[in-house]
């Protein structure tokens, strides 16, 4: 088989009886929206066609000056505020993205600078739409190995600048945004089982390189190609439905739980048909699955942290609740993790203290191409919606 899978539980930590838990969360989306009606003016499509096949009604589009790093920095600042800590209390910043501002420096380094952090290690990773699950697992391993106490885990994307706006099969799917969490080390009491153990319970990651070019973006070093998304939709749908169900089931089983013991599932927000298929495959009711893709479309690595932030604000998670995230992405990659929520949802109000004007990402002299939205979208970017 070409698919490889790894997973783990808190029992595999290098420091015995240590896990991690989420103490802060936040997100940022652009103010400008692109509706299905707008897309009818760009490509041959219709609101009815898009909505019935994807569930998406609108998506957010980054305007000039809004970038992967700037949105990620603002989401991270809100997560820090919710956690009640400062940037220098963080030991690691890891950013999941497939749309970095530059090949170098990393988006994480730019975000570190914007936050005023002086001591955190910082790097990006790329696992496409599964990126946040991969970043969470990496940060969990870093903290349980004793390399630090706190990490910022960020998913941020500016997909509108990697979309072929003449390809109606892909341009209707994607949007921009960022989400972040603060993940902290947590020492457990001896003998705590899955029924009562707080924090991160398990994770599952997989990759199947047989689908590497079914969902991809060319334009690597020396390729000389436009870095625009290309997708075999039919093949990707089959992979997504099969693999999301498999990794979610595996992660729940590794946690020593059954689907009935999971209070909420937060899936990658790619397509409502995929989510409904996974719901049936794991015998999990749709009313216990958080969905916000109608507002944002597919924001790749940002979709799960944005959805998590909104789920908390909507009262869908309370202390003691167990939730499972699950994602698939180009590569083909997939990932899931299971966590028992412990934070006070009321702390989310602290995000409002962050002044967006105080979070500034350094740009190269003369600006950068990453700062500019596609010309075809300029007519739609004057509208604001929050």
pLDDT (tens digit, 9 = 90+) per residue, 24-71? 999 999 999 999 999 999 999 999 999 999 999 999 999 998 999 999
pLDDT for 373 equals 81
SS3 content of the chain, % helix, strand, coil (to 5): 35, 25, 40
Alpha carbons 45 and 167: distance in angstroms, whole number: 10
pLDDT for 13 equals 41
Q: Give the residue with greater pLDDT, 180 vs 10.
A: 180
Percent of the chain scoring above 90 in pLDDT: 73
Residue 296 near residue 174, CB atoms below 8 Å: no
The region of weakest confidence among 86-90, 343-347, 353-357, 376-380 is 376-380
- Give catalytic residues, as residue numbers: 129, 268, 298
What residues does each domain of the chain span? 4-189+196-348
pLDDT for 1 equals 41
pLDDT at 115 exceeding the cut of 70: yes
Q: What is the mean pLDDT of the chain?
A: 90
Alpha carbons 309 and 121: distance in angstroms, whole number: 24
pTM (2 d.p.): 0.93
Question: Where does the pLDDT of residue 198 fall: very low under 50, low under 70, confident under 90, or very high at 90 and above?
Answer: confident
pLDDT at 16 exceeding the cut of 80: no
Question: What are the pLDDT digits (tens) for 232-250?
Answer: 878 888 888 889 999 999 9
pLDDT for 11 equals 40
Name the CATH superfamily, with its identifier, for domain 4-189+196-348. Answer: Thiolase/Chalcone synthase (3.40.47.10)
Average pLDDT over residues 177-202: 85
Average pLDDT over residues 262-287: 96
pLDDT for 7 equals 53
Question: Where does the pLDDT of residue 378 fall: very low under 50, low under 70, confident under 90, or very high at 90 and above?
Answer: confident
pLDDT for 3 equals 58
Average pLDDT over residues 282-311: 98
| Long-range residue pairs from 350-353, CB within 8 A, at least 24 positions apart, any chain | 350/81, 350/82, 350/84, 351/26, 351/78, 351/79, 351/81, 351/82, 353/81
Question: What are the pLDDT digits (tens) for 314-370?
Answer: 999 999 999 999 999 998 999 999 999 999 999 999 999 999 999 999 988 776 666
């Amino acid at each position: 088989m070409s698919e490889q899978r790894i997973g783990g539980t808190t029992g595999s930590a290098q420091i015995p009886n240590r896990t991690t838990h989420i103490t802060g969360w936040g997100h940022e989306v652009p103010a400008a929206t692109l509706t299905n009606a707008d897309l009818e003016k760009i490509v041959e499509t219709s609101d009815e066609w898009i909505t019935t096949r994807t569930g998406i009604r609108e998506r957010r589009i980054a305007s000039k000056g809004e970038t992967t790093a700037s949105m990620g920095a603002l989401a991270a600042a809100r997560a820090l505020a919710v956690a009640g800590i400062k940037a220098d209390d963080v030991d690691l910043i890891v950013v999941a993205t497939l749309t970095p501002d530059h090949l170098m420096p990393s988006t994480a380094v730019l975000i570190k600078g914007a936050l005023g952090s002086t001591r955190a290690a910082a790097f990006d990773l790329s696992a496409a739409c599964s990126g946040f699950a991969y970043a969470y697992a990496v940060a969990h391993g870093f903290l349980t190995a004793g390399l630090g106490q706190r990490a910022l885990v960020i998913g941020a994307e500016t997909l509108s600048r990697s979309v072929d706006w003449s390809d109606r099969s892909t341009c209707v799917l994607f949007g921009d945004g960022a989400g972040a969490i603060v993940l902290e080390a947590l020492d457990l009491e001896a003998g705590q089982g899955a029924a009562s153990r707080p924090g991160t319970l398990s994770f599952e990651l997989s990759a199947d390189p047989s689908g590497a070019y079914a969902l991809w973006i060319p334009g690597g070093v020396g390729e000389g190609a436009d870095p625009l998304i290309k997708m075999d939709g039919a093949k990707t749908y089959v992979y997504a439905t099969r693999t999301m169900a498999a990794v979610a089931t595996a992660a729940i089983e590794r946690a020593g739980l059954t689907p009935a013991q999971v209070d909420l599932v937060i899936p990658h927000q790619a397509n409502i048909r995929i989510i409904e298929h996974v719901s049936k495959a794991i015998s999990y009711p749709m009313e216990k699955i958080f969905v916000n893709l109608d507002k944002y479309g597919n924001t790749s690595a940002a979709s799960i942290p944005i959805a998590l932030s909104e789920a908390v604000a909507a009262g869908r998670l309370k202390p003691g609740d167990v939730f499972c995230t699950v994602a698939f992405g180009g590569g083909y990659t997939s990932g899931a993790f299971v966590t028992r929520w412990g934070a006070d949802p009321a702390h989310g109000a602290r995000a409002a203290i962050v002044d967006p004007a105080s979070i500034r990402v350094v740009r190269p002299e003369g600006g950068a191409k990453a700062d500019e939205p596609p010309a075809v979208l300029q007519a739609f970017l004057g509208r604001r919606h929050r």
